[in-house]
Structure 1
Amino acid sequence: MTPILRVAALGDGVTADGRHAALAAPGDWLNDDGSVTPGPHHQTPPCRHFPQCGGCQLQHLDDASYAAFVADRVASALDGQGLSAPVRAPLVSPPDTRRRATLHADKGLLGFTAAQSHAIVDLRECHILAPALLALVAPLRSLLQRMGLKRRADVHLTLADQGADILVTGFAPEGLKAAETLNDFCAKHGVARFAVDGGDGPETRWEPQPVTITLGGIPVGLPPASFLQATCEGEAALVAAVREATTGAKTVADLFAGLGTFALALPAKVYAAEGARDALMALKLAANARQRPVFAEHRDLYRRPLTVAELNRFDAVVIDPPRSGAREQAAALAQCLVKRIAYVSCNPSSFARDAKLMVDAGWRIDWVQPVGQFRWSTHVELAACFSR
């Protein structure tokens, strides 16, 4: 028997000699025949669909070992680039708090896909979704069947200020009967908006009042299936970290600004750059309506990153790139004279790669705040503070 010491990036337990064991927790024992004897940190998974459902990979970890996994993902990524930094205690979102998710529908099934498969796990319970979204799964399953769904479709669920926002892609029912069926469903279940996309872009079929999401205390128009931090708790943790990292800054550049999660929460003049036009317009309208000092610009930061001269105009920079990171923008950040940089990332590996560029140019990582808002998954986010 060999003890399991930690959980690797993809979720397997790992022994001191490098052997991997699926569904193992730190403190478990790997037996000679490959079986696992549970230890003190191995809990009974709360969901009947685990481990078949790909929505979660780590429900067998107790809270302490899952938090340790979140922190270790960040520390290991930094170590892989030869970097070290103070890694704070992780902030993990509670169960039943996910306010956005994409489910898949086909042949009367509706749910997440199975692990490493396109097969759909028909969702009958879920311990990560917000209750208001989970309550819609069974009615939606029935609705799609009644409306004659013939092929696979994706169902994007978001919990907005007004209630559930639903976008079904790969499906666009036509006719009066379909419209009446859809309207009855939305009225009965208090849906905020229902949109469909048969391939030509989202088409709203139900929206009694404009759908918004409140960011920084300001309601922002929410385009269908927009990017949003997965939980309110996760958003609050990242916003707090960004505000701390930019304390005292009077002018801030917010790069990959999205709908304004950070731009609208900062007590400063903010330049917000975003490549998605619908998100940018929503941010611009919200900021203007409340007379917030936010200048929003449409800019593809991969093709046209801010130059060193442009960056030098600001006291601080906030950057929150997609999973691939921002290698080109990081190269300019490494050379700029900004006092502080807050780097928010949903991929510790690409973050560490970009951080290496900056550290080699003389920057210091003051601290890193791991955030586990995709509870029981291997997906880890973080916010980090850089200074000269």
Structure 2
Amino acid sequence: MTETIVRIAARGEGVTESGRHFPFAVPGDTIANDGSIVAGPHHQVPPCRHFPACGGCQLQHVDDAAYGDYLAARIAGALAQHGLVTKIREPHLSPPRSRRRASLRTLKLGQRAVIGFNSARSNQIVDLRECHILRPELFALVAPLRELLGALLKPRRGGEVQLAMADQGVDVLLKGVGVEGLAAIETLTEFCTQQQLARMSLDQGLGPEAFYEPVPVTATLSGRPVALPIGAFLQATEDGEAVLAAAVCEAVGEATRTADLFAGLGTFALALPGQVYAAEASRDAVLALKRAAPAIAVEHRDLYRRPLDVGELANFDVVVLDPPRAGAAEQVANLAASAVPRIAYVSCNPATYARDAKTLADGGYALAWVRPVGQFRWSTHVELAGCFTK
């Protein structure tokens, strides 16, 4: 008896109505009696030769319609576990080759180096020869970096390569890659100039330091250049950032007093109207935002250890928060007890978002809507922005 795939599970497997899981199956596919997959209307040919070995993508076999449904279902399912229901808007999908930041692994094997993403559920590195998620400017550096690292790395030694697009070009951070002696320094300097890098930084175990930076490196956020600290967080795609910022601005409306918590470099603070207070735990990000926007009241503050209390929250019409994957349980508990009229909550983890949403709901807030954003194309990673009202 054949079965039909009805949904995609959190880790990317297709699931039948009876609950059986099949890797690389898509809603609409059927499972034959021998367990083979008969492709349905939403099953596409993966565009990349490295799929499915490369861990950079898990869902290249899923078309855009089914992928958008998957993102929405992940959020709806997480909320439903806490008894919550809301309007889930049309998901935004970042296009192929739009990722502007990535962390790649590298390893010296014999006389050459490999560089790429780890294999799925493995420490083995897939040596990238093509990539359909990275921006062309980033992927163009993979081959030159492979040659460079072949010269710098010692046999069987590995490291990490972090790439990000800055206003001035590509920002590169090498972690665990030793640069010893004049010849190595000259090789690295020549590489930076030939590739016209915005910056090259090294972290050899004592923290990152800039090795090459012809001019100060910046990232433009909401039309304003902000100094980009080494290794600083940026939203994965420019279009995804714009969609999240638009959702936040919609939730904020014409508020005159807004708090942006876990503000980072000011991704949202710089887009907000009226008087803005921003709290962030990273000292480098705080200094960068202060220099870029003196009118914003920026505070260096660890919101896990010292969340804004109910009295402080009373100073604001709206609170924006964009915490790490762990969510913001401590801050949300105080928000639930506050009288702040609206909250714009951005998250990269539907599970912790739903947990925090339940706390807010118990405090009298209603989740008006959620906008899913698929910045990590063809992955199981889900981002979202939502609006709470009281």
Normalised by the shorter chain, which TM-score bucket? over 0.9
User: Out of 165, 168, 174, which is 1:159 matched to?
Assistant: 165
SS in structure 1 at match of 2:34: coil
The answer to whether the aligner puts 1:67 opposite 2:68 as a matched pair is yes
**Pairwise CA distance, 1:354:** 0.2
**Pairwise CA distance, 1:54:** 0.4
TM-score by length of 2: 0.97
Letter of the aligned partner of 1:378 in structure 2? T
The C-alpha deviation readout for 1:61-83, integer Å capped at 9, x for no partner, is 01111111111111111111110
The answer to whether the aligner puts 1:191 opposite 2:197 as a matched pair is yes
Letter of the aligned partner of 1:319 in structure 2? L
User: Out of 141, 146, 149, which is 1:141 matched to?
Assistant: 146
**Pairwise CA distance, 1:34:** 2.2
The C-alpha deviation readout for 1:357-381, integer Å capped at 9, x for no partner, is 1111110111100000001000000
- Separation in structure 1 between the aligned mates of residue 209 and residue 325 of structure 2, nearest angstrom: 28
Runs (4 or more) in structure 1 with deviation over 6 Å come to none
Letter of the aligned partner of 1:212 in structure 2? T
- Separation in structure 1 between the aligned mates of residue 290 and residue 279 of structure 2, nearest angstrom: 11
**Pairwise CA distance, 1:120:** 0.4
Q: Say how many residue pairs are matched.
A: 384
Letter of the aligned partner of 2:298 in structure 1? A
Corresponding position of 1:341? 343
SS in structure 2 at match of 1:285: helix
Q: Which runs of 5+ in 1 are unaligned?
A: none
**Pairwise CA distance, 1:225:** 1.3
- Separation in structure 1 between the aligned mates of residue 13 and residue 149 of structure 2, nearest angstrom: 37
* Most deviating of 48-57 and 180-189: 180-189
Corresponding position of 2:26? 25
Say if 2:348 and 2:384, in contact at 8 Å, map to a contact too.
yes
- Separation in structure 1 between the aligned mates of residue 179 and residue 192 of structure 2, nearest angstrom: 15
Corresponding position of 2:57? 56
User: Out of 377, 381, 384, which is 1:382 matched to?
Assistant: 384
User: Out of 304, 311, 314, which is 2:313 matched to?
Assistant: 311
**Pairwise CA distance, 1:149:** 4.1
SS in structure 2 at match of 1:386: strand
- Separation in structure 1 between the aligned mates of residue 177 and residue 195 of structure 2, nearest angstrom: 20
* Most deviating of 176-185 and 107-116: 176-185
The answer to whether the aligner puts 1:241 opposite 2:241 as a matched pair is no
The answer to whether the aligner puts 1:275 opposite 2:298 as a matched pair is no
**Pairwise CA distance, 1:279:** 1.1
- Separation in structure 1 between the aligned mates of residue 367 and residue 73 of structure 2, nearest angstrom: 17
Letter of the aligned partner of 1:5 in structure 2? V
Query: RMSD value over aligned CA atoms?
Result: 0.8
Say if 2:56 and 2:379, in contact at 8 Å, map to a contact too.
yes
Letter of the aligned partner of 1:325 in structure 2? G
- Separation in structure 1 between the aligned mates of residue 93 and residue 16 of structure 2, nearest angstrom: 25
The C-alpha deviation readout for 1:268-325, integer Å capped at 9, x for no partner, is 211111111111111111112xxxx211111111111110111111010000000010
- Separation in structure 2 between the aligned mates of residue 260 and residue 178 of structure 1, nearest angstrom: 37
Say if 2:30 and 2:38, in contact at 8 Å, map to a contact too.
yes
Letter of the aligned partner of 2:150 in structure 1? Q
Letter of the aligned partner of 1:341 in structure 2? I
* Most deviating of 30-39 and 115-124: 30-39
**Pairwise CA distance, 1:31:** 2.2
**Pairwise CA distance, 1:148:** 3.3
**Pairwise CA distance, 1:33:** 2.6
Corresponding position of 1:123? 128
Corresponding position of 1:366? 368
Identity of paired residues, percent?
Answer: 60
The C-alpha deviation readout for 1:246-278, integer Å capped at 9, x for no partner, is 001101100000010001111121111111111
Say if 2:159 and 2:177, in contact at 8 Å, map to a contact too.
yes
Say if 2:94 and 2:375, in contact at 8 Å, map to a contact too.
yes
Letter of the aligned partner of 1:200 in structure 2? L
The C-alpha deviation readout for 1:119-153, integer Å capped at 9, x for no partner, is 10001100000000000000001001112344110
- Separation in structure 1 between the aligned mates of residue 83 and residue 10 of structure 2, nearest angstrom: 18
- Separation in structure 2 between the aligned mates of residue 153 and residue 360 of structure 1, nearest angstrom: 46
Say if 2:173 and 2:200, in contact at 8 Å, map to a contact too.
yes
Corresponding position of 2:304? 302
TM-score by length of 1: 0.98
